Structure 1
Amino acid sequence: MRAGRIAGVEIILNNWFLVLITLFTVAGLASKVMLVFGAVLWHELAHMLMAAGLGYKVKQIELLPFGATARIERLADAGAASEIMIAAAGPLASMVLAALCYAGIGEAGNWQEVLSFVGEVNLMLAGFNLLPALPLDGGRILRAILTRRRDYRNATAIVVMISNIISFMLLILAGLGYLLHNTINLTIIIAAGFLLITARTENDLAGFRAMRILASKKAELSVSGVMSTSHLTAMSNATISDVIRLFGPEQYYIIHIVDQDFRLCGALTETEVWEGLLKRGIKAKVNEFL
């Protein structure tokens, strides 16, 4: 559901978020709903400011049950360092606000209860978002770290597997709560369901990222006529998967191929690699692409 715009950024309320807010309201906690809403916006504002500082434009923010996700132009083309900085900004901002709330409780007078609640909400928001699960900030940070050694799709698959494990652990935790205390924790169940569904979506989208990045590079090179290039050297009998995992989003790649005597056999552009990959497969040898 569209909720309006803030500084030109469209605000979307996710259906899961609406369910959680409804549960708060039905439970007689309507007065605290706006505080939770504000905490989530504060968290996402930090993402927005970091993205803007790195030169990315935020088009849309979707408020989720335990955080939010920003639709940022060209974020899929960002390097690992930029993605980590943008993802970490939200939890850091939440922890800073929580610390300020707890530090001011002693002098808050009648506002002690409010400050305590806001501090607790922000602390929980930061903690949950740092879980290594997609689409949470912790999952994005972990995936960005993994992409330094693996290709994006493989890194996503690993984090999705961890996300599923966390989801099932949350369901088990909810089940134990029911067996031991005869209570149903709907918040945990919603969190588990949310992670299961959204992690699967992230996995489905990962396969398209490489093609989007290549298209973006081609467009930039066509417009400017010049682009920063990185050169790789590969043995002729190396597998193409070993080459692809070294591709990053911020440079165009030229691969120099050498034989067993380290003599140059030929060269491939990044475009030729991706086009040849469709015919020869990920396990093909580099010299098969010449």
Structure 2
Amino acid sequence: MRAGKVAGVQLILNNWFLLLMALFAAAGMLGKALVVFGSVLWHETAHALVAHQLGYRVREIELLPFGGVARIDRLGEAAASELWIAAAGPLSSLIMAGLLAMGRTAWPAWSEELTFCLHVNLTLAAFNLLPALPLDGGRIFRALLSRGRDYGQATAVVVRLGNLISLGLLAAVAFDYLVHQSINLTFLIAAVFLYAAAKAEASVVSFRIMRVLAGKKAELTARRVMPTVHFTAVAGAAARDVVRQFGPEQYHIVLIVDDNFRLRGALTETEVWEALPEHGLYAKIGDFLP
């Protein structure tokens, strides 16, 4: 359900969210539920505002039964930008928690309500800082890893870490059941969600890498200037090993040398990209030379 726009960004209320609100209302807990999702909206709006300031288009913010998501075009295609956008959410929740802590002192009559809201924001910040995709902590960790390795490898590392966190949550659920004969539904849902989300990230990473590389040609055409990195490859190297060296933040020039390290020629990143459909990832990079 579309619920209007906030600062030009479409706000969507997921159908399951509306059902959950109805259930909370029936149980007499609608007020607390609105506090939770108000905190989520504050968290996601922080992502959107920082993304907008960095020049990204924020399409919509959707509130889900157990959180929210800000849909930002091209998020993840630049390591530095993704780091700041991802960090904005947990930071905003921590700032809100600090304000609420001061509010408890200023308005002691509202201590119980403010304490609940404080705990919600602290929990939201802590959960989102877990190093698992698509949580903010996973995006921050991937952005940091992308500074020293390619985007695909960085994503693979964080996906594996997310799977380990999912297994840890499932182990906690099993332990709780065996010891206390109760099921921790929060941990169970979080484990399933993180596993499914990590699997989805792994399935689209190749497409996202190709989109990053293709987009650089248009960006260079528009900006006319872009930071450039040169590196050298032996003519017999596989094209896939060359493509793995391409990062999202710079344009790349590949110097091709023979086995005696004599220069055979040079290829721009765009030339490598445009020749890939013809030669394939396993062809020798020397075959890409005109």
The answer to whether TM tops 0.5 is yes
1:128 Cα offset (Å): 0.3
Q: Which amino acid is the alignment partner of residue 59 of structure 1?
A: R
8 Å contact kept, 1:163–1:196: yes
* Structure 1 unaligned blocks of 5 or more: none
In the TM superposition, residue 219 of structure 1 has moved relative to its aligned partner by 2.8
User: Aligned letter for 2:224?
Assistant: V
What is the root-mean-square deviation in Å for CA atoms of aligned residues?
Answer: 2.6
Q: 1:225 to 1:27 in 2, by over 3 A?
A: closer
Verify: 1:257 aligned to 2:253, yes or no: no
User: Would you say how many aligned residue pairs link Structure 1 and Structure 2?
Assistant: 288
Aligned counterparts of 1:209 and 1:43: Cα–Cα separation in 2: 25
- Would you say the 8 A contact 1:16–1:194 is kept in 2? no
Matches of 1:274 and 1:43, distance apart in 2: 38
The separation in 2 between residues aligned to 1:56 and 1:102, in whole angstroms, is 33
- The CA distance in 2 between the partners of 1:3 and 1:33, in whole Å, is 17
1:53-202 alignment runs, 5 A limit: 53-77=53-77, 79-202=78-201
1:235 to 233, 236, 251: 233
Cα deviation, 1:82-126, whole Å, max 9, x if unaligned, reads 110110011011111112222332332221011111111111100
Report the AA paired with residue 288 of structure 2.
Answer: F
- CA spacing shift, 1:221–1:80, aligned 2, 3 Å: closer
Structure 2 CA distance for partners of 1:125 and 1:281, relative to 1, 3 Å:
same
CA contact (8 A) 1:58 1:72 kept: yes
Corresponding residue SS for 1:71: strand
Task: Say whether the 8 Å CA contact 1:233–1:258 is kept in structure 2.
Answer: no
1:47 corresponding residue in structure 2: 47
Cα separation, partners in 2 of 1:161 and 1:28, compared to 1, 3 Å: farther
Deviation at 1:140, TM superposition (A): 0.6
Q: Is the 8 A contact 1:227 1:251 kept in 2?
A: no
8 Å CA contact retained: 2:151, 2:247: no
Which deviates more, 173-182 or 127-136?
173-182
Decide which moves more: 180-189 or 58-67.
58-67
- 1:217 is aligned to 216
Q: Is the 8 A contact 1:177 1:184 kept in 2?
A: yes
Calculate percent identity across the aligned residue pairs. Answer: 56
Look up the equivalent residue of 1:233 and give its one-letter code: F
Within 1, Cα distance between the matches of 2:15 and 2:197?
12
Give me the whole-angstrom Cα distance separating, in 2, the residues matched to 1:186 and 1:26: 20
CA shift, 1:65, in A, is 4.9
What's the TM-score, normalizing by structure 2?
0.87
1:233–1:151 Cα change, 3 Å: closer
Q: Distance in 1 between the 2:167 and 2:137 partners?
A: 18
Task: Report deviation, 1:172.
Answer: 1.8
Q: CA deviation at 1:16?
A: 6.5
Q: Equivalences for 1:25-40 in 2 at 5 Å?
A: 28-40=28-40
Residues 177, 183 of structure 1: 8 Å contact kept: yes
C-alpha deviations, 1:23-58, integer Å up to 9, x for none?
655654322011101111111121112112212121
Q: Is the 8 A contact 1:257 1:266 kept in 2?
A: yes
- Aligned residue for 2:4, secondary structure, equals strand
Deviation of residue 148 (structure 1)? 1.9
Q: Is the 8 A contact 1:20 1:187 kept in 2?
A: no
1:161-202 CA distance string (max 9 Å, x none): 211221121122122222222222222222112112222111
Q: Which runs of 5+ in 2 are unaligned?
A: none
**CA apart distance, 1:157:** 1.9
Paired with 1:254 and 1:73, the residues of 2 have a C-alpha distance of 27
Question: Do the aligned residues in 2 keep the contact of 1:66 with 1:128 (CA within 8 Å)?
Answer: no
Take 2:93 and 2:85, find their aligned partners in 1: how far apart are those partners? 14
